[in-house]
Every structure is written in C-alpha cells, then in structure tokens.
C-alpha cells in the first residue's frame, strides 16, 4: 500500500485512522508484546519516521487504540443490553454475566488493558498522557452510569467500585487465560495442574458478582446507634 503525503487536517485525521485500523487488525493476529513499529509501518506502507509524524511512539498508537476499543465496548453494552427486572441480587448477577461475556468477546481490548499500566503508559508524551486520561475518565463515567441503570441500588459510591474491580480484574485475569506453551504442556501432563488453569470469563463473572453482592450487603447493613453516655 502506498500513501500520498497528507496535506489537509482531514487527510491527517484519516491517516491516523488508517494507522489505528492497521494496528487493530495486527492485534487479531498477535499479542501487544509482538506488535512492532517496524511491522506496523511496513503494513501501512509508510516509513517509520512518517508514522511517527502522527503518533509519538508505538505505545501512543496502542494507547489511542485502547481508548477507541473501550468506547466501542461501551457503545455495544448500551445498545445491546437493557436493564432487567428482579431483585437487586438477580440484576447484579445478570450485569456480572454481561460484563464478563462482553469482555471475553473482545480479545484486543483485553490484551490492551492487560498492557496498559506496565507498557502503554510509558514512552509517551505528556500531551498523549493527558488525552488518554481524559478519555479514560469519560469512559469510567459512562460505565458507572451503565452499572447504575442495571443496579441503581449500588449508589454513587458503589457503582464506581464495581467498574474499578471489573477493569482491574480484566487486566489481571486476561494474561492468566493465555498461558505459554510450556504451561499448556504442564496442564496437559497432570489433571491436578490442569485444575489450576483460570478461565477468564468464569473468573470475571464470579469476581463482579461477589463485588456487587458485597457492595449491596454493606449498603443494607443497619447503622449502629451510638452508645448512650
């Protein structure tokens, strides 16, 4: 693929989108750790120096892609899942299942989340960091509102806890569900070891369920009266 030099703002915006689309396609073939700027440049048909005209670094490309992936995930959640009826616990369990299964269907998003803090937030400019954190804040607010639509009983303090736990658990659980060849061989060699392998969807579902139930239980605890003096 050969590109002409982007001269207008519209052309530059489209060039950034093409770079992000190419990176997203590459992540369906390889993990974040194996995506290099050289290979990204080759697939786009640009010199590496030209790619760096649009993004500070490989990490800046992937961080921007993470923001886009999260936005797409939230949009899908909002359009595909409506709040259900039932007890707060039943609705919480349903929400946990929605969050777990929807994340499992988005391996690119999960891989980016798992690399966010340790990799993607390094080797970037302050401008990129600020833009990313504003996007993350907006995404958090949207997810909190989504959680409250399903389980309003969680309240303004409980809903953020559920969102934070969901994202943190996705970050930690995803790599565990992608073991190395050596670990796969170890699991295959011994049923007792195989039982130790984590399933991403199951871990996510259980963790979010317990978090929601725990927050609801604490909110329902009666306030103890102060002892009389």
Mean pLDDT of the chain: 91
Q: What percent of the chain has pLDDT over 70?
A: 93
Do residues 95 and 212 make contact, with C-beta atoms less than 8 angstroms apart?
yes
Q: What percent of the chain has pLDDT over 90?
A: 79
**3-state SS class at 27:** coil
What pLDDT does residue 1 have? 45
What pLDDT does residue 84 have? 87
CATH number, domain 63-218, options 1.10.260.40, 3.40.50.300, 1.10.357.10, 3.10.20.30: 1.10.357.10
Q: Could you tell me the CA-to-CA distances from 191 to 125, 131, 180, 182, 188 in Å, in that order?
A: 48, 47, 17, 15, 7
Do residues 142 and 135 make contact, with C-beta atoms less than 8 angstroms apart?
no
Residue-range domain boundaries for the chain: 63-218
What pLDDT does residue 225 have? 46
What is the tens place of the pLDDT at every residue in 26-73? Answer: 999 999 999 999 999 999 998 999 999 999 999 999 999 999 999 999
Residue spans of beta strands (DSSP E) within 85-136: none
Q: Could you tell me the CA-to-CA distances from 184 to 27, 62, 104, 187, 214 in Å, in that order?
A: 22, 28, 20, 5, 34
Q: What is the pTM of this model?
A: 0.87
Per-residue pLDDT at 175 exceeds 60:
yes
* Residue among 43, 30, 38 at smallest CA distance from 57: 38
Do residues 20 and 35 make contact, with C-beta atoms less than 8 angstroms apart?
no
What pLDDT does residue 219 have? 82
């Amino acid at each position: 693929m050969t590109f002409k030099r982007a001269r207008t703002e519209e052309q530059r915006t489209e060039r950034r989108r093409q770079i992000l689309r190419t990176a997203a396609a590459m992540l369906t073939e390889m993990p974040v750790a194996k995506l290099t700027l050289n290979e990204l440049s080759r697939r786009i048909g640009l010199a590496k120096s030209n790619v760096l005209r649009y993004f500070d670094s490989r990490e800046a490309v992937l961080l921007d892609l993470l923001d886009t992936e999260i936005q797409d995930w939230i949009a899908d959640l909002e359009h595909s899942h409506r709040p259900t009826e039932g007890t707060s616990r039943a609705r919480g369990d349903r929400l946990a299942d929605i969050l777990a299964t929807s994340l499992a269907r988005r391996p690119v998003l999960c891989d980016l989340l798992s690399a966010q803090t340790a990799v993607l937030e390094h080797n970037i400019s302050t401008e990129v960091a600020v833009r990313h954190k504003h996007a993350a804040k907006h995404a958090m607010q949207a997810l909190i509102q989504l959680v409250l639509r399903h389980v309003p009983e969680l309240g303004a303090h409980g809903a953020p806890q559920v969102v934070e736990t969901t994202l943190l658990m996705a970050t930690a659980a995803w790599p565990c569900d992608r073991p190395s060849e050596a670990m796969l061989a170890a699991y295959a060699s011994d049923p007792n070891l195989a039982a130790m392998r984590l399933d991403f969807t199951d871990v996510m579902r259980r963790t979010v369920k317990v978090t929601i139930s725990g927050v609801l239980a604490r909110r329902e605890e009666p306030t103890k009266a102060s002892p009389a003096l």
